Amino acid sequence: MFKSTRLTLAALLVGASAFTATAEGFTPENPECIAPANPGGGWDFTCRQVGKSMQDQGLIEKTMQVVNLAGGGGGVAFAEVVNKRNDDNDLIIAASAATSTRLAQGAYPGNNMNEVRWLASIGADYGVIAVAKDSEIADLTGLLDAMKNDPTSISIAGGSAVGGWDHLKVLIAANAYGIDDVRSVKYIAFDGGGEAVTQLLAGSVQAFTGDVSEAKGFVESGDIRVLAVLAPERLDGEFAEFPTAREQGVDAIGANWRGFYAPGGMSDEAYEGWVEKIGTLYASDAWKEVMATNGMAPLDLQGAAFQEFVANSVAQIEGISREIGIIE
C-alpha cells in the first residue's frame, strides 16, 4: 500500500499540461516574493532565481524584492498572506511539495489551500540525502543500517518542519529499507536547508535531507557528500556522479515540485498576468539552462492545471502521512 501510494505521488510529475493566460498590460509596481524560510534553502532559491530571471528577460520592470519569512514550515508566511496581504497584486510566494505536505497534515492556519491562488510551477527538484565530507558513512545503506541498528545514533537535519517534506523523504527511504517503525527516525527541523547544512557541518547532526538545488552549492564547495538522489534514475550533467537510492537497493523516490501561490484576493488581471509571466519564463531557453544547472526536472503547469496538481498532491501526501502515522 505504501509503495503504490509513493509511486502515485511520483506520477503526479508526469503528463503535465500547460494553461496559457492572456493578461497584456499588467505590470507589478513593486514586485515582491516571500520565501517562507531563512536564506539558503529551496524557497529562497526559488524567489531569487525567478526574480532575477524575470528581470533579465524584461518580464518585470523592477527588481523583485525577496522577503524571508521563516517559521512553521511555511505556516507563518501562509498566515501573513491570508490575514494581512490578501489583496496584494504585487506579491507572489514560493511554494513546493513542503507546502502541500503541511496543508495535507493540517499544519497551516485555516489549512485550506483555496484561501490562496495557485499560480504556476517552475520545475521539480529531486531529494538528496547527504553527509558531511569527512563522515565515516560511505553510502545510503550504511546510513540506514546505522539508523536500523541504533536509531539514537543518527540525527538527520532538514529545512522543513517535523512531518514536512524533508522529513517525509527520509521516512520514505527508511520504510523502503525495511525500517518498520519510521517514528524511531530522529529528524531535526530547521528554518531552511541552509541552516540545516550549517548544523551538519558543525557536527550537531549526522546527515542532511534536502533537494538537489539547495545542496548544490555545498557540494561544489566540498562541504557535503551526497549519499543518494531520490530520483528514478541518475540526473544529467554534473549531477550524474551522484548515485540514486534505487541503484543502492532502496526503492525511494522524492520529487519536490517548485512553484508559486498568490494572495486569495488578488485581482483576476494580476493573477493572469503573473501566470503568463511565469509561463513565459518557464518556456525560455534561459530558464531551461537554469533548470539544467540546478538539477531540476521538467514540470510545466500554469493556472487551473497547477491548482488541480496541488490539490492532487495534498490528497496523495495526506494518504502517505496516514500510512506512516504522521496523522491519524
**d(C-alpha 280, C-alpha 130), whole Å:** 34
Mean pLDDT of 237-249: 91
C-alpha distances (whole Å) from 264 to each of 22, 81, 92, 113 are 19, 8, 11, 10
Confidence of residue 21 (pLDDT cuts 50, 70, 90): very low
What is the per-residue pLDDT for 24? 57
CATH 3.40.190.10-classified regions of the chain? 126-248
What is the per-residue pLDDT for 327? 85
Confidence of residue 59 (pLDDT cuts 50, 70, 90): very high
Selected residue with higher pLDDT from 323 and 139: 139
For residue range 150-175, list pLDDT tens digits in order.
999 999 999 988 888 899 899 989 98
Q: Quickly list DSSP for 236-258.
A: SGGGGGSPBSGGGT-----EEEE
Are residues 102 and 210 in contact, defined by beta-carbon separation less than 8 angstroms? no
pLDDT surpassing 50 at residue 20: no
C-alpha distances (whole Å) from 212 to each of 134, 158, 233, 234 are 20, 13, 14, 12
**How is domain 126-248 classified at the architecture level of CATH?**
3-Layer(aba) Sandwich (3.40)
Cα maximum dimension of the chain: 61
Mean pLDDT of 86-94: 98
Rounded to the nearest 10 degrees, the angle between the axes of helix 212-220 and helix 193-201 is 40
What is the per-residue pLDDT for 214? 82
User: Which burial class, exposed, middle or buried, applies to 34 when counting CB atoms under 10 A from its CB (0-12, 13-18, 19+)?
Assistant: buried
pLDDT surpassing 50 at residue 12: no
**How is domain 2-124+256-323 classified at the architecture level of CATH?**
3-Layer(aba) Sandwich (3.40)
For residue 21, give the H/E element and its range: none
Residue 257's region, left for phi above 0, alpha for psi from -120 to 50, else beta, is: beta
**d(C-alpha 92, C-alpha 109), whole Å:** 18
CATH 3.40.190.150-classified regions of the chain? 2-124+256-323
Which letter, b or e, does each residue of 175-189 get, where b requires 16 or more Cβ atoms within 10 Å of its Cβ? bbbebeebeebbbeb
Whole-number average pLDDT of the chain: 89
pLDDT surpassing 90 at residue 263: yes
Mean pLDDT of 267-291: 97
Which among 189, 190, 192, 160 is positioned nearest to 68, based on CA atoms?
192
For residue range 104-145, list pLDDT tens digits in order.
999 888 779 999 999 999 999 899 999 999 999 999 999 999
User: Which burial class, exposed, middle or buried, applies to 88 when counting CB atoms under 10 A from its CB (0-12, 13-18, 19+)?
Assistant: middle
Residue 35's region, left for phi above 0, alpha for psi from -120 to 50, else beta, is: beta
**d(C-alpha 239, C-alpha 293), whole Å:** 9
Half-sphere exposure of 262 (CA within 13 A, CB side): 29
